[in-house]
Structure 1
Amino acid sequence: MFTSTPLAGNGLAVIHDADALDDATMVSIARETAQSETTFVQTPTADGADYRNRIYTMVEEIRFAGHPSLGTAVAVARAAGVTEARYRQQTIAGVQPVEVELAGNVARASMLQEPAEFGEPIDPLPVLGALGLGPADAHPELPVQPVSTGIYHLMVPLRDRVALERMRPTLKRVEALEAKTSTMVLYPFVCEGPSDDERVHARGFFAERDHVLEDPATGSAAGPLCAYLHRHTGRTASTIAQGVEMGRPSRLETAIVGDRVQVAGDCVIVLEGELHL
Structure 2
Amino acid sequence: MRGFRQVDVFSAEPLLGNPVAVVHDADGLDDAQMARFARWTNLSETTFLLTPTDPAADYRLRIWTPGRELPFAGHPTLGSAHAWLEAGGAPRSADVVVQECGAGLVPVRRGERLAFAGPPLVRSGPVDAGDLGRVARALRVDEQAIVDAAWVDNGPGWLGVLLADAAAVLACRPDLGAFDGLKVGVVGRYPDGGEAAVEVRAFCPGLGVPEDPVTGSLNAGLAQWLAGSRLPTSYVASQGTAIGRRGRVHVSVADGAVWVGGDTLTTIAGTVAL
Normalised by the length of structure 2, the TM-score is 0.86
The structure-2 alpha-carbon separation of the partners of 1:81 and 1:47, relative to structure 1 and needing over 3 Å to count, comes to closer
2:230 to 228, 233, 254: 233
Task: Say whether 1:217 aligns with 2:214.
Answer: yes
Asked if the contact 1:73–1:100 (Cα under 8 Å) also holds between the matched residues in 2, the reply is no
Structure 1 stretches (4+) deviating beyond 6 angstroms? 81-84, 194-198
Shift of residue 194, structure 1, vs aligned partner: 7.9
Q: Which has the higher strand share?
A: 2
Normalised by the length of structure 1, the TM-score is 0.86
1:10-69 CA-partner distances (Å, limit 9, x unpaired): 011100000010000001111121111000000111230110010000121101000000
Aligned equivalents of 1:100 and 1:21: distance in 2?
Answer: 29
Where does residue 266 of structure 2 map in the other structure? 269
1:173 to 178, 183, 193: 178
Name the stretch that deviates more: 259-268 or 92-101.
92-101
Percent of paired sites with the same residue: 35
Q: Which runs of 5+ in 1 are unaligned?
A: 102-106, 179-184
Where does residue 69 of structure 1 map in the other structure? 77
**Which AA in structure 1 matches 2:215?**
T
The 3-state SS of whatever aligns with 2:211 is strand
1:158 to 163, 171, 183: 163
Where does residue 140 of structure 2 map in the other structure? 132
Q: Which runs of 5+ in 2 are unaligned?
A: 1-8
Where does residue 247 of structure 1 map in the other structure? 244
Asked if the contact 2:214–2:247 (Cα under 8 Å) also holds between the matched residues in 1, the reply is yes
Asked if the contact 1:125–1:134 (Cα under 8 Å) also holds between the matched residues in 2, the reply is no
Shift of residue 137, structure 1, vs aligned partner: 2.5
Aligned equivalents of 2:134 and 2:193: distance in 1?
Answer: 30
Where does residue 182 of structure 1 map in the other structure? none
The structure-2 alpha-carbon separation of the partners of 1:198 and 1:171, relative to structure 1 and needing over 3 Å to count, comes to closer
Aligned equivalents of 2:192 and 2:144: distance in 1?
Answer: 21
Task: Say whether 1:94 aligns with 2:104.
Answer: yes
Shift of residue 159, structure 1, vs aligned partner: 1.3
Where does residue 104 of structure 1 map in the other structure? none
Aligned equivalents of 2:13 and 2:258: distance in 1?
Answer: 25
Aligned equivalents of 1:223 and 1:74: distance in 2?
Answer: 19
**Which AA in structure 2 matches 1:58?**
P
Shift of residue 125, structure 1, vs aligned partner: 3.8
**Which AA in structure 2 matches 1:261?**
V
1:71-90 CA-partner distances (Å, limit 9, x unpaired): 00000000007797621100
Aligned equivalents of 1:163 and 1:248: distance in 2?
Answer: 18
Shift of residue 113, structure 1, vs aligned partner: 1.7
The 3-state SS of whatever aligns with 2:251 is strand
1:64-121 CA-partner distances (Å, limit 9, x unpaired): 00000000000000000779762110010010111345xxxxx821111213455231
Asked if the contact 2:16–2:245 (Cα under 8 Å) also holds between the matched residues in 1, the reply is yes
Aligned equivalents of 2:157 and 2:86: distance in 1?
Answer: 30
Aligned equivalents of 1:273 and 1:13: distance in 2?
Answer: 11
Shift of residue 166, structure 1, vs aligned partner: 2.3
Asked if the contact 1:111–1:264 (Cα under 8 Å) also holds between the matched residues in 2, the reply is yes
**Which AA in structure 2 matches 1:250?**
G
**Which AA in structure 2 matches 1:207?**
P
Root-mean-square deviation over aligned CA pairs: 2.5
Count of residue pairs the alignment pairs up: 261
Asked if the contact 2:167–2:188 (Cα under 8 Å) also holds between the matched residues in 1, the reply is no
1:126-173 CA-partner distances (Å, limit 9, x unpaired): 31221111234222xxx2100134443111001133321222222342
